[in-house]
Amino acid sequence: MTVVAAAPHALAARWEERVMRAAHPLAYPLLKASRKPVRRVPGLGVLVTDAAMLRATLLNTASFTKTGPGSPADLWTPVLGPSVLLNMEGPDHATLRRRLGPLFAPSYVDGLVAESLAPALGALARSLQDDEQVDIVDEVRRYASIAISRLVGLGESVVDDELFRRVSSITAMVRLSRPRLSPTQIIAAKRVMDDLGVHAQAAYRGGDENTVPGRMRAFGLTESEAMGAVGAFVLTGTETLVSYIPRLVCLLIDSGWLPMIAADRALVEPAIAESLRVTTPSPVMLRSVVADDAIGPVRVRPGDRVILATFEANRSLGPFDPAANTAAVLKQLWFGAGSHFCLGAPLAMAQIRLVLETLLDAAPDSRIVTRRAARGVLIPGYSTVVLQRP
């Protein structure tokens, strides 16, 4: 078994701590300080940091919902409308998920991502091999934009850095202490999503099955359902990947695993899973209580807000270690569980694998020249990570 020294692990842990604190300087220390697997936090809700209890809560849709007070529906329904998977439960949710499922089948998204990202990833490989400095955050932001543009029917000139900034400005409004957006924030968010909607509507009405809106129409979704789903894909998918992939790269370099994984490609999947466990790009999930129940020793009642601290539950199993692959026992808990397991996971994984494979092929000896943690963001990440070969 490959063994990595403690010092690189400590460096990786320090930078992950900086990233989390930069994004949430007040909430992160509060959530991390919990010494109990579940406890009631005044003003916030019931905090869960144990992986088994967290999974059981996600699976118990009879008592815990995404549609009650303090849930994702409180945040996103005013912006996206009532028919997006992240704010639905029950038969309607199951029906919409079943209709959308073929759009995210690996057989479809793998080809889509490979085709759409090939030119950009080829340019990345050449830059690294020529010993140029490359900001991997800028690179991944462009890749996410390309993939989203293909998925939702936008021209690549529309999904640019400015649009990414506007989309990020919506998620940056969200705070744990604030269960819903203000009227002014809702207006600002809807303005951004409406701009996207113009292009997505054109794709839907044109029936172009190379885009998600066109395929949605072919699958029988209404225009309203399709536009809501498009908005959800953009909000939840774009920023999460732009956050996660640079953290993956930094984690592999800081821990000393990057050249070892390049030498043994059987470690690629465990490395991705372990990095998802340690970074947990969506660090918190929210639920609303709709029936009297209990999470461990804590009784809950209708109207309670449940904060599922996935980042703490995942990290508690130990440090990053692809050889041990502790992540395997979690069954991809970072993507959720049960009926709300992330539908877009195959799309995310396709992009992650391609970027990592490009780096492993072109520059497994990459070093980090400079980096900065992003501040004032919902999804913890870096604002810049400049790489270069020695």
Question: For position 157, what pLDDT does the model report?
Answer: 62
**369 vs 82, which has greater pLDDT?**
369
Question: For position 298, what pLDDT does the model report?
Answer: 97
Question: For position 316, what pLDDT does the model report?
Answer: 87
Task: Among 156-170, 292-306, 342-356, 370-384, name the one with the lowest average pLDDT.
Answer: 156-170
- Arithmetic mean of pLDDT, 235-258: 90
pLDDT of 54-65, one tens digit each?
999 999 999 999
**Above pLDDT 90, what percent of the chain?**
50
State both tokens at 295: 């999470």
- Arithmetic mean of pLDDT, 325-341: 92
Q: Is 43 exposed, middle or buried (0-12, 13-18, 19+ CB in 10 A)?
A: exposed
**305 vs 74, which has greater pLDDT?**
305
pLDDT of 292-310, one tens digit each?
999 999 999 999 999 999 9
Question: For position 158, what pLDDT does the model report?
Answer: 62
When pLDDT is cut at 50, 70 and 90, the band that residue 155 belongs to is: low
pLDDT of 98-107, one tens digit each?
888 888 889 8
When pLDDT is cut at 50, 70 and 90, the band that residue 1 belongs to is: very low
Selection from 270, 250, 249 nearest residue 359 by Cα: 249
Question: For position 321, what pLDDT does the model report?
Answer: 93
Residue in the block written with tokens 């479809």: 108
Question: For position 8, what pLDDT does the model report?
Answer: 61
- Arithmetic mean of pLDDT, 313-341: 92
**102 vs 364, which has greater pLDDT?**
364
When pLDDT is cut at 50, 70 and 90, the band that residue 123 belongs to is: very high
When pLDDT is cut at 50, 70 and 90, the band that residue 168 belongs to is: confident
The 305-308 sheet, strands edge to edge: 38-41, 45-48, 305-308, 285-289, 64-65
Tell me if residue 136 falls in helix, strand or coil.
helix
- Asked if 139 and 362 count as a contact pair (C-beta separation under 8 A), the reply is no
Residue 230 to residue 182: CA distance in whole angstroms: 23
Residue 124 to residue 233: CA distance in whole angstroms: 25
Residue 258 to residue 250: CA distance in whole angstroms: 9
pLDDT at position 6 over 50? no
pLDDT of 180-194, one tens digit each?
888 999 999 888 888
Kindly report the average pLDDT of the chain as a whole number. 88
When pLDDT is cut at 50, 70 and 90, the band that residue 43 belongs to is: confident
The H-assigned helical ranges of the chain are 6-23, 27-32, 51-59, 72-80, 90-100, 106-129, 136-152, 161-171, 183-206, 212-218, 223-233, 239-254, 258-263, 268-279, 310-315, 345-362
Topology given in CATH for the domain delimited by 6-363+371-388: Cytochrome p450 (1.10.630)
Question: For position 5, what pLDDT does the model report?
Answer: 46
- Asked if 84 and 231 count as a contact pair (C-beta separation under 8 A), the reply is yes
Residue 140 to residue 101: CA distance in whole angstroms: 25
Question: For position 173, what pLDDT does the model report?
Answer: 82
pLDDT at position 3 over 50? no
Residue 233 to residue 240: CA distance in whole angstroms: 11
Selection from 368, 279, 312, 330 nearest residue 13 by Cα: 279
Put residue 81 in one of left, alpha, beta given phi > 0 → left and psi -120 to 50 → alpha.
left
Task: Among 4-18, 107-121, 130-144, name the one with the lowest average pLDDT.
Answer: 4-18
